[in-house]
């Protein structure tokens, strides 16, 4: 099926998109990343604790409820990605779907984070499923929108850098607000409820700023691709397959220490009171890493800058298992260095993702950013789930028991190795995949020329 476009309108839109987007418009686009980021950490870390310890629901029922939400979440990704590319209202296919998702996402977060004191497992399942639907419906068009706002190699790093920097701001808020207020009581405005109120207000407000201040990107589709052909183009997109493999491995490398961070600090280092401050410090340092990543990408290219950052993270993580108990300052230095390097992990891969979508657009004739970011989202979730699924059974096999008063030496050693050295192996594999990545600035310029002159 051929997509017809008005030549004069296309020329005007192309001129507007290829021009450097003013900073206020980039910031307006990136603002919704703050409340969206505040949804991820609480859902996987704070919500299970609150519903079991504060509301008194059983661990098994909460675990089953969240399992249902995660399965539903995984099914959502490809369906919403496909819909995001097919949905073409006059208001704009990226802005329209994003705008429709905001009320559902904001209300669902508010209801999930501020449940009644007698809330049941059904409440958790119902609002968890609705939040999953709303969040995915917001995130995929939002990510595709950012990928299409700039067509040049470095302009994409600039946009993703601002978005991921504000994502980290939202993550810091999601850490600080609940713990500062506390969420040990179900009555009144507890910390999780305060976060729900903040999302209820900020998401529609910042979303409206993005919708009305940021232009709809130009669509360069010349035809429409059916499902079978589309999957074939995706599978033949070698740069994308390399990128998503490296992204999965690096996500696994980041997900394992993220899962084990609290255990490592409290059980291995014997510093339970330092867990919250160290976690906050880690993400704070990541904010500094985002502009550094953008600068490095301009000097050596996006894929090489990412590889250097992953290599530096391996070197920083290497001494962690050797730290003696009570090594607060030494571990804080590791948190600072790896936090800065997390900024590279957040800012650069999505910018490279925008480039590999150009490979598909040039080959298939349809701009399918939604499908690609759906695959990206699914890879993220699989890497996080894979980290938990691998390390917990292995640690249990080595005798690590976080509930025991005194952990075995073998279990604590296994915890230290799993926390630092297993992720190093995954990162080294990701570096090997990305080191000679074929899509550099020159290759991306040629692709854009093919797309825009077709």
CATH of the domain at 34: 1.20.1250.20
3-state secondary structure of 33: helix
| Inside any domain, residue 223 | no
199 with 239, same domain: the answer is no
How far apart (Å, rounded) are the C-alpha atoms in residues 308 and 192? 38
Same domain, 174 and 295: no
Contact criterion met (CB below 8 Å) for 441 and 153: yes
Q: Do residues 205 and 310 share a domain?
A: no
Question: Measured between alpha carbons, how far is residue 291 from residues 3, 134, 288, 298, 351 in Å?
Answer: 38, 30, 6, 11, 13
Are residues 234 and 211 located together in one domain of the fold?
no
The structural domain count of the chain equals 2
Of 439, 293, 436, the closest CA to residue 358 belongs to 439
Q: Note down pLDDT in tens along the chain; length 454 residues.
A: 444 444 444 444 444 444 578 899 999 999 999 999 988 877 777 788 788 878 888 877 887 887 788 788 878 888 888 888 887 777 778 888 999 999 999 999 999 999 999 999 999 999 999 999 999 999 999 998 988 888 888 888 899 999 999 999 998 998 888 888 887 888 889 989 999 999 999 999 999 999 999 988 877 777 887 777 888 888 899 999 999 999 999 988 988 888 788 788 888 898 988 887 898 899 999 999 999 999 999 999 999 999 999 999 999 999 999 999 999 999 999 999 999 999 999 999 999 998 999 898 888 888 888 888 888 888 887 777 676 667 777 777 788 766 555 557 788 888 888 888 999 999 999 999 999 999 888 888 888 888 887 6
Among 158, 182, 217, the domain boundary falls at 217
| Residue 275 and residue 142 share a domain | no
pTM over 0.75: yes
Closest of 100, 98, 101, 126 to residue 112, by C-alpha? 126
Residue 224 lies inside a defined structural domain of this protein: no
User: Phi, psi (5° rounding) for residue 2?
Assistant: -90, 140
Residues 116 and 206 in one domain: yes
Same domain, 179 and 260: no
- Tell me if residue 323 falls in helix, strand or coil: coil
Position 233 scores a pLDDT of 84
* HSE-up (13 A, CA, CB side) for residue 325: 9
Nearest to 220 by CA among 63, 23, 17: 17
Look at residue 278 and give its three-state secondary structure: helix
- As a whole number of angstroms, the distance between CA 196 and CA 190 comes to 10
Query: Has residue 355 been placed in a domain?
Result: yes
Ramachandran region, residue 188 (left: φ > 0; alpha: ψ -120 to 50; beta: rest): left
Beta-bridge partner residues of 223: 2
Which residues have CB under 8 Å from 114's CB, separation 6+? Answer: 189, 192, 193, 196, 197
Phi and psi at residue 223, in whole multiples of 5°?
-155, 175
Burial of 442 (0-12, 13-18, 19+ CB in 10 A): exposed
| pLDDT at site 10 | 40
232/97 Cα distance (integer angstroms): 26
Full domain range(s) for residue 2: 1-217
Identify the domain boundary among 192, 217, 242.
217
Instruction: Look at residue 222 and tell me if it is in a domain.
Output: no
Token pair of 26 as six digits: 């980039």
Taking the CA of residue 231 as centre, how many other CA atoms within 13 Å lie in the half-sphere pointing to its CB? Answer: 3
How far is residue 1 CA from its own chain's centroid?
34
Q: Is 269 helix (H, G, I), strand (E, B) or coil?
A: coil
297 and 355, same domain (yes or no):
yes
Burial class, 315, CB count within 10 angstroms (exposed 0-12 / middle 13-18 / buried 19+) = exposed
Whether residue 374 contacts residue 77, with contact meaning beta carbons closer than 8 Å, is answered with: yes
CA distances from 97 to 16, 74, 89, 120 (A): 22, 19, 9, 31
The reply to whether 213 and 240 lie within a common domain is no
Look at residue 12 in the predicted model and tell me its pLDDT: 41
| Domain endpoint, select from 168, 195, 217 | 217
| 253 to 85, 165, 388: CA distances (angstroms) | 31, 21, 11
Distance CA 58, CA 387 (A): 24
- Same domain assignment for residues 293 and 400: yes
Task: Work out whether the CA dihedral 39, 45, 46, 51 comes out positive or negative.
Answer: positive
Q: Are residues 426 and 298 in the same domain?
A: yes
Short-list 77, 167, 141, CA closest to 381:
77
Can you tell me the distance from the alpha carbon of 448 to that of 23, in angstroms, rounded to the nearest whole number? 23
Degrees (nearest 5) of the Cα angle 135, 90, 78?
35
Shared domain check, 18 and 157:
yes
Taking each continuous run of H as one helix and of E as one strand, the counts in the chain are 17, 0
| Beta bridge mates, 2 | 223
The distance of Cα 432 from the centroid of its chain, to the nearest Å, equals 23
What are the residues whose beta carbons fall under 8 Å from the beta carbon of 449, sequence distance 6 or more? none
Is residue 115 in a domain?
yes
Reduce the DSSP state of residue 223 to 3 states and report it. Answer: strand
User: 238-263 and 275-300 are packed helices; what angle lies between their axes, rounded to 10 degrees?
Assistant: 160
């Amino acid at each position: 099926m051929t997509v017809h476009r008005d030549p004069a309108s296309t020329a005007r839109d192309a001129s507007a998109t290829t021009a450097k987007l003013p900073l206020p418009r980039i910031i307006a686009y990136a603002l919704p990343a703050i409340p969206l980021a505040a949804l991820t950490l609480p859902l996987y870390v704070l919500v299970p604790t609150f519903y079991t310890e504060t509301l008194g629901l059983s661990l098994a029922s909460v675990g089953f409820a969240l399992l249902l939400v995660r399965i539903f979440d995984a099914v959502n990704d490809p369906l919403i990605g496909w819909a995001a590319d097919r949905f073409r209202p006059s208001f704009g296919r990226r802005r329209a779907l994003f705008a429709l998702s905001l009320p559902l996402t904001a209300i669902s977060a508010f209801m999930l984070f501020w449940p009644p004191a007698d809330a049941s497992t059904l409440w958790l399942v119902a609002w968890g499923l609705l939040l999953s639907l709303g969040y995915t419906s917001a995130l995929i068009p939002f990510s595709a929108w950012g990928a299409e706002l700039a067509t040049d190699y470095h302009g994409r790093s600039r946009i993703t850098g601002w978005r991921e920097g504000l994502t980290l701001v939202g993550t810091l808020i999601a850490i600080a607000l609940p713990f500062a207020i506390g969420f040990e009581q179900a009555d009144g405005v507890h910390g999780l409820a305060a976060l729900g109120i903040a999302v209820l207000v900020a998401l529609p407000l910042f979303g409206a700023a993005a919708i009305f201040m940021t232009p709809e990107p130009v669509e360069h589709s010349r035809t429409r691709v059916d499902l079978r052909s589309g999957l074939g183009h995706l599978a033949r997109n070698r740069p994308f397959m390399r990128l998503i493999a490296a992204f999965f491995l690096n996500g696994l490398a980041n997900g394992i220490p993220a899962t084990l961070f609290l255990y490592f600090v409290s059980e291995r280092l014997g510093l339970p009171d330092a867990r919250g401050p160290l976690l906050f410090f880690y993400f704070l340092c990541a904010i500094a890493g985002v502009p550094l990543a953008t600068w490095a990408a301009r000097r050596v290219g996006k894929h090489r800058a990412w590889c250097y950052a992953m290599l530096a993270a391996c070197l920083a993580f290497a001494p962690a298992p050797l730290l003696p108990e009570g090594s607060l300052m030494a571990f804080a230095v590791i948190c600072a260095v790896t936090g800065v390097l997390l900024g590279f992990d957040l800012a650069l891969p999505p910018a490279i993702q925008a480039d590999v979508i150009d490979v598909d657009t040039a080959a298939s004739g349809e701009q399918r950013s939604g499908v690609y970011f759906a695959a990206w989202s699914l890879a993220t979730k699989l890497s996080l789930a894979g980290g938990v699924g691998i390390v917990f059974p292995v640690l249990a096999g080595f005798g690590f028991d976080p509930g025991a008063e005194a952990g075995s030496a073998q279990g604590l050693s296994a915890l230290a190795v799993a926390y630092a050295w297993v992720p190093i192996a995954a990162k080294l594999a990701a570096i090997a995949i990305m080191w000679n990545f074929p899509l550099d600035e020159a290759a991306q310029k040629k692709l854009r020329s093919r797309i825009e002159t077709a």
